Amino acid sequence: MSHRISSRMIAALLACCAFLGAARAVAAEAVARLDGLPAPVLVNQFYECLLLVTDADGAGLPGLRLQIRGRMPEHAHGLPTAPRISEESGGRYRIKGLSFNMPGRWVIEILRDGKPLLRQELTVQF
């Protein structure tokens, strides 16, 4: 009897672990990367780039509600423009209107439903 109970407990525990693992996978499933920004990025130019968002298996994630914001960690201000993100196809999103008006370290953040999805640092030069 006690043996059966402990088997059930172990099975439940395993199921629970499997569920938690799956939950973690859901939480971490979106993988995002920026593509197409030149190096170096220069001040006072307009840039356009691609944002690729996939699940853990590499399949594109369409239909996401994404926002972009940026800032200079050493300063009090954000980006000089309000860039726009538009969906192209299957997890490909195009960012237009990106610009930087000061040299130095900038941080770009992509938000999905208001939550951080990607954080990328870049150094802007003259």
Partner 1 sequence: MSRTLASFFGLLLLSALFVVFHHVHAADDIHGGWSEDDMRSMRGLRLSVEGIADKNRSNELLRRDDAIELGRLLFHDPGMSGSGQVACSTCHRPENGYQDTEFMTFRLDPEARHRAPGLLGVALQDWFFWDGRADSLWSQALAVIENPAEHASSRLQAVRHLCARYSESFPALLRDCLRIDLPGAPVHASPLAAEENWRRLSAAQREGIDKLFVILGKSIAAFEAGRLLPGVSRFDLYVDAIAAGDSAAAAAILSEKEAAGLKLFLDAQVGCVNCHNGPMFSNSGFFVVATDTPGQPEHDRRRGIEILLDSEFNCLKWSEPENCPKLLYIKKDEAETTGAYKVPSLRNLRHAPAFMHDGRFKNLEAVIEHYQNPATLPLRHVDIRPAALFPHQREQLLSFLNVLGTEAASK
Q: How far is the CB of 68 from partner 1 (least distance, A)?
A: 11
Nearer to partner 1, 8 or 77 (CB): 77
CB of 6: closest distance to partner 1 in angstroms? 60
Closest to partner 1 by CB, 72 or 91: 72
Minimum distance of partner 1 from residue 61's CB (angstroms): 25
- The two beta strands, 31-35 and 115-125, are unpaired
- Cα–Cα distance between 126 and 124 in angstroms, integer? 7
Cβ 36 to partner 1 shortest distance, Å: 17
By beta-carbon proximity to partner 1, the closer residue of 9 and 82 is 82
Burial of 56 from C-beta contacts in 10 A (0-12 / 13-18 / 19+): exposed
Q: Is 90 left (phi over 0), alpha (psi -120 to 50) or beta?
A: left
As a whole number of angstroms, the distance between CA 32 and CA 93 comes to: 10
Note the residues at the interface with partner 1 (CB under 8 A).
43-44, 46, 75-84, 96-97, 99, 101-104, 125-126
Nearest CB to partner 1, comparing residues 104 and 116: 104
Nearest-angstrom CA–CA distance, 30 and 45 = 30
